Amino acid sequence: MKLFISRLQFTMISIFAGAVLTGTLISPLHAQQSGLPINAAASVNGTIITNDMVEQGIKMALSQGQKDSPELRKAVIQKFIEVLLLSQQAEKDGLANSEKANSQLMLIRQNYLADLELSSYMAKNPITDADVQAEYNKEVASLGPQGMINEYKVSDIAVASEADAQAALNRIKKGEPFDKVAKSVSLGPNKAQGGAVGWVQAGQVGPQIASVLANLSKGQVSQAPIQLQQGWYLVKLEDKKSSKPPTFEQAKPSIRAGLVQRKQYEYVSQIAKDSKIVVQ
């Protein structure tokens, strides 16, 4: 999970994608080539576009599916020139000091610094191969003696009170289809789908739900309402299957990504603890 997205990076990706994918550029802009610093790719009214900036732009374009080529480099430089021309004109037109501009520039700066701080923190506190291996071993051990991953195809009904859940359960016991009752009373976002959730693993649901699913047979509905922090639930086990866990090499990328997300979340949580936060 990348907690923060650079607005500036997003803007440049959009610009590059729009120009390079369609091949549309404005008429050629002539820049004075002589006298530029060594690391300069171009200059617009004295403002330098560095080769480092161009390389970053190329990386963004490549991440959007573009192919590296001399034409791509020219397109990226061209777009930097266009952006500079427009931003300089905005300065002349007095737009740079508007409330909207100041607000957006502040957000761009904050997001960039947040990205930078997370990158710096992760560089100093990297996820090691040993960390990934330990997490994999822990997850495999949690599967129990059979070492299999149990997956459940689930439907649920979410309501606000135990009384509402019991009333829905009584209707199901009298023969009404689970999906019909779900469409009638459920408060969940999957109401229109008759409460269908799809396939989940035990670790992806709360322990209260997981323990109920483990003891249901295919087609059965929980025999009593289940209380969670969000409300009261009924669950139906539509189907069940078991599979072998992935090998370490197969699981390594996703485990590493999960550990990165966890470490970043813990870091932000620690900063929040040491800060004064007031919400309206």
pLDDT band per the 50, 70, 90 thresholds, residue 243 = confident
Whole-structure pTM value? 0.56
pLDDT for 31: 44
CA distance 126 to 119: 10
**Helices and strands in the chain: count of H runs, count of E runs:** 9, 6
Residues 6+ apart with CB under 8 A from 215: none
Model confidence over 87-118: pLDDT tens digits?
A: 999 999 999 888 999 999 999 999 999 999 99
- The order of strands in the sheet holding 226-228 is 196-201, 149-159, 231-243, 226-228
pLDDT at 279 over 70: yes
Q: pLDDT-derived band of residue 144, with 50, 70 and 90 as boundaries?
A: low
- What does residue 97 show for φ and ψ, rounded to 5 degrees? -100, 10
pLDDT at 148: 81
Q: Cα separations (Å) of 81 from 27, 71, 73, 111, 169? A: 12, 15, 12, 24, 65
Distance CA 9, CA 112 (A): 9
Confidence (pLDDT) at 34: 54
Structure tokens at 156: 């649920």
Residue type, position 68, single letter: D
Mean pLDDT over residues 75-88, rounded?
A: 94
The pLDDT value recorded for residue 3 is: 33
pLDDT given at position 35: 76
**Which residue from 64, 56, 72 is spatially nearest to 115, judged by alpha carbons?**
56
